[in-house]
Structure 1
Amino acid sequence: MNIKKIILPLLVIAVGIGVGKFLIATGPEAEKQPSEARPVIVEAQPLKLRDYQVTVNASGIVQAQTQTNLVAEVSGKVLEISADFQEGGYFDKNATLLKLDASNYTNAITIAEGDLAQKQLTLQEQQAQAKLAQRDWNLLDGNASRPQSDLAARRPHIAAAQAAINAADAKLQQEKLNLNRTRITAPYRGRVQEKRVDVGQYVTPGTVLGVIYATDAVEVHLPLSLAQYALLNIPEAFRNKAADAALMPKVSFRPTAGNLQDTWQGQVVRSSAALDEKSRQMTVIARIDNPYEAREGVSAPLRIGQYVSAAIQGKLFNNVYVLPSSAVRQGKEILLLQDGKVVVQPIELVWSTESEMVVRSEADLNDKRVITTPLPQATDGQAVQVAGEKKPQAKPADAPQEPKP
């Protein structure tokens, strides 16, 4: 009885398992639905063939093109200083900047004039004595045809008197020159950088009275790497051939502090004669004309020693494509978008900045769409979808095929 109770349930279970396996084995198979890969969402833009002007960025310090130490040429006390002769003051050419005490030099002129008059009188006396000597010679000798000796004719005396006059006249001119030098005038139109003396100070020859610079132009020295320099197409100057100034690159300057909207236009005028031994850089010198004239777009004049950034006009690349840097992969290829699929396109990188890549291609890519979203692992044929656009409809398998041309 107990054995039957155990065997019967086991038998029922075994029969149920067998029937289930039979039904599974003989039942219809469920149709498998293929899983469709979701396309990657990307950004894209059309390609346009164009010309691209390279801009080489650099920076430098504003320097005076013409700078002068005003030096006293004579001694004297400073009696007067022009109101323009102050640090930052502007002045015109030939303007009087300082005056020194001139009393010693006016007195010296008076003395020199008296000495010159005395020397002229001496010459007249020697000439009169020479005439008397000639008359006496003629009366005593009776032979006027025989010449007198130089000494008898007082020729050395006359020559010495004439030389004394010349020396006295030179002395007078020197004293007049010294008098003029008590008035220190501006050699050009400019601005005062430093004033080193004041009224009442006694100065001697060689004393630096101040530092001035011309305001017609300033220069900016711009260090460049050799790669940057090669992009500028600067005409070289030779000993027997000057560089063509018309071909020198244009430069746009901006301050690095203050009103960053201020701009000045300049031009490269020359390059340095040697590379920097430590940095191996080449320096180009750009000039800005009339940087101290008030004009629209400038809120303050340039200052000597001011740090400025420069955008130098470089080479012109023709027939290139300009892309965001995210569109170029490994510097040698881009991803085109065609019928919702990726097409890998080789390119040649010719120039790059932090945000742009300038490329060339042997294929005509004009008006084709380039993917600007970085896809480092994308391959040919990968499905993608442009953000905001509908997914392209796939053609059904039984759709009639278009006749081949």
Structure 2
Amino acid sequence: MLVGLLIGVGILGGSAYAAWHFWKTRPEARQFKPPRKPLKVEFAELKQVDFPVVIPSQGRVKSRAVSGIVPEVAGRIVRVAPAFREGGFFKQNEALLWLDDRNYRIATKEANATVRQLQVKLRLEQINRASYANAVALAKANLSKAEAALELEKARQSAAIANLRRLNALTQSSPLARNEPQIKEANATVQSATAELTKAQADLEQRPDQMEADLRAQIDAAKARLARTLTDLERTVVRAPSFPGRIADKTADVGQHVTPSTTLARAIAVDYAEVRLPVPSSLVGHLDSPDPIIDAGGNGSQSSGTKTRVDINATIGGREHGWTGEIERTEARVNQSSQQNFVIARVPNPYGRSPALKDGQFVRARIHGRPIKNVFIIPRRAVRRGDFVLMIDEEKRLRRWRLISLWRDEQTVIARQVEGEDGQVRDLKEDEVLCLTNVDFAANGDKVDDGTSPPQKKSPKGP
């Protein structure tokens, strides 16, 4: 039995050795690699263009002005205009309501009568004062005349006395010869004229200038009261705000008594509408700012004057309708949570056609920014993950580059430069060939078949 076991082990060992020997001495198998066919791809030649920037946004329409219609005087409404109804259109400063004005007319007449009465008093005072002034002037003239007559009589007396002395008849002469009665009469005349002047001056002093000044002040105050009553009378006609608009809602009608604090209606402007549109901070630089540049002192320059066009669209009644507006201004603050800027678009004449662009309407907007100059438009389907694109060089080999994008939207990526896998940055060139086909597992340098002969101008080789 032991002999049989040894024989079995020997047979197994010999078989194993024979198998190992044959495996070690086997001939080498010849490997066959089939030739790799070029990848069939679509391509496009790049062209340098100016890309028109369009920023999508959305918002709600609001009136550029909302104003309450409030009377400035109290009274009962006696009449309303046809436009004074909900939905009614009115012109700028159009009369909308009329209040009972009888009390205001009476107050105006009373104020006017007071002014006239005071003016008559002032005129009489001026006449009286003028007559007293004339009396003083006349008394002064009479006094001057009497004093001149007295001087003349004194001169005659001196001449008469001198003549009598020459004749040695002075002592025997009569008072008449010495001109004494004439001197006495002239002195009496001077005294009378002096008394008249004193009386005239006293009468004039009894009417001082302050009386006339007081009357003038009273007239000014009466005229102010008259102006106020006239203004109140005008205000019994309640007018629309200083813009063309529409009545949004009203709370008063004929027969109601109103006060200056009563809001009769709410009006909205219809000359143009506004839309508040959000714009990401990253895209604001593509817009022409309508705002002036202001320094710390409040001084500023005008804006560039270039208006940014906005296309407004809304679905009304199942149909698409469009309007054209422009960016008028930007809001002063950036939203802290979303970092969105807000621009205000102005749409003129929102009620100029049917359907109207009404207050509160939700709209979509396309904001036309400044075009990006001298760039290349890359279709989205040609852009791989990580912004990589495949370019075809002059040997029809794929070269992998990463786009340095300036703009992107759902259809395109805009770029001027690309970066290689080694970090080298270069400018894109006119007529470079871009691979449009989404080639899975393509390696850098793979051959492609674009169905054409090699183009004259091709992309440079990759790094």
Match of 2:444 in 1: 380
User: Does 2:352 match 1:352?
Assistant: no
8 Å CA contact 1:249–1:267 kept in 2: the answer is yes
* CA distance in structure 2 between the partners assigned to 1:366 and 1:135 by the alignment: 105
1:71 Cα offset (Å):
1.6
8 Å CA contact 1:223–1:283 kept in 2: the answer is yes
* CA distance in structure 1 between the partners assigned to 2:205 and 2:317 by the alignment: 83
1:322 Cα offset (Å):
1.8
User: Does 2:213 match 1:159?
Assistant: yes
**What's the CA shift string for 1:25-63, capped at 9, x where partnerless?**
xxxx99997556677665544433322111112222323
SS in 2 for 1:276: coil
Which of residues 248, 254, 257 in structure 1 aligns to 2:313? 254
User: Does 2:322 match 1:263?
Assistant: yes
SS in 2 for 1:275: coil
Match of 2:243 in 1: 188
**Residues 363 and 229 (structure 1 numbering): CA distance in 2 closer, same or farther, change over 3 Å?**
closer
8 Å CA contact 1:245–1:269 kept in 2: the answer is no
* CA distance in structure 1 between the partners assigned to 2:449 and 2:317 by the alignment: 46
Match of 1:26 in 2: none
Match of 1:88 in 2: 87
User: Does 2:361 match 1:306?
Assistant: yes
Indicate the larger mover: 278-287 or 76-85. 278-287
> Where does 1:162-181 land on structure 2 (aligned, <5 Å)?
162-181=216-235
* CA distance in structure 1 between the partners assigned to 2:220 and 2:427 by the alignment: 88
**Residues 64 and 106 (structure 1 numbering): CA distance in 2 closer, same or farther, change over 3 Å?**
same
**Residues 56 and 379 (structure 1 numbering): CA distance in 2 closer, same or farther, change over 3 Å?**
same
8 Å CA contact 1:220–1:286 kept in 2: the answer is yes
1:349 Cα offset (Å):
1.8
* CA distance in structure 1 between the partners assigned to 2:195 and 2:67 by the alignment: 70
Match of 1:69 in 2: 68
* CA distance in structure 1 between the partners assigned to 2:234 and 2:73 by the alignment: 10
User: Does 2:389 match 1:334?
Assistant: yes
> Where does 1:387-402 land on structure 2 (aligned, <5 Å)?
none
User: Does 2:389 match 1:291?
Assistant: no
Match of 1:18 in 2: none
TM-score (norm 2): 0.67
8 Å CA contact 1:150–1:156 kept in 2: the answer is no
Number of aligned positions between the proteins: 362
**What's the CA shift string for 1:252-273, capped at 9, x where partnerless?**
2112655663222222222223
* CA distance in structure 2 between the partners assigned to 1:327 and 1:118 by the alignment: 95
**Residues 31 and 156 (structure 1 numbering): CA distance in 2 closer, same or farther, change over 3 Å?**
closer
SS in 2 for 1:143: helix
Letter matched to residue 105 of structure 1:
Y
**Cα-Cα RMSD:** 3.7
1:75 Cα offset (Å):
0.5
SS in 1 for 2:350: coil
1:144 Cα offset (Å):
6.9
Letter matched to residue 214 of structure 2:
A
Match of 1:272 in 2: 331
Match of 1:223 in 2: 278
**Residues 87 and 151 (structure 1 numbering): CA distance in 2 closer, same or farther, change over 3 Å?**
farther
Indicate the larger mover: 134-143 or 64-73. 134-143
* CA distance in structure 1 between the partners assigned to 2:368 and 2:397 by the alignment: 39
* CA distance in structure 2 between the partners assigned to 1:44 and 1:148 by the alignment: 118
User: Does 2:46 match 1:47?
Assistant: yes
SS in 1 for 2:59: strand
**What's the CA shift string for 1:277-299, capped at 9, x where partnerless?**
443332222222233323xxxx4
**What's the CA shift string for 1:358-394, capped at 9, x where partnerless?**
23344655445533343353213446667xx79x9xx
1:175 Cα offset (Å):
1.3
SS in 1 for 2:360: coil
**What's the CA shift string for 1:169-209, capped at 9, x where partnerless?**
22222211111111122323232233232111111113222
* CA distance in structure 2 between the partners assigned to 1:375 and 1:328 by the alignment: 11
**Residues 369 and 278 (structure 1 numbering): CA distance in 2 closer, same or farther, change over 3 Å?**
closer
* CA distance in structure 1 between the partners assigned to 2:205 and 2:68 by the alignment: 54
8 Å CA contact 1:251–1:312 kept in 2: the answer is yes
Letter matched to residue 121 of structure 1:
V
8 Å CA contact 2:381–2:438 kept in 1: the answer is yes
8 Å CA contact 2:351–2:358 kept in 1: the answer is no
| Structure 2 gap ranges (5+) | 1-27, 140-192, 418-425, 454-463
SS in 2 for 1:344: strand
**Residues 346 and 161 (structure 1 numbering): CA distance in 2 closer, same or farther, change over 3 Å?**
closer
SS in 1 for 2:264: strand
1:353 Cα offset (Å):
0.7
1:129 Cα offset (Å):
4.4
**Residues 106 and 285 (structure 1 numbering): CA distance in 2 closer, same or farther, change over 3 Å?**
same
* CA distance in structure 2 between the partners assigned to 1:140 and 1:213 by the alignment: 81
SS in 2 for 1:347: strand
> Which one has a larger percent helix, Structure 1 or Structure 2?
2
Indicate the larger mover: 105-114 or 272-281. 272-281
1:99 Cα offset (Å):
1.1
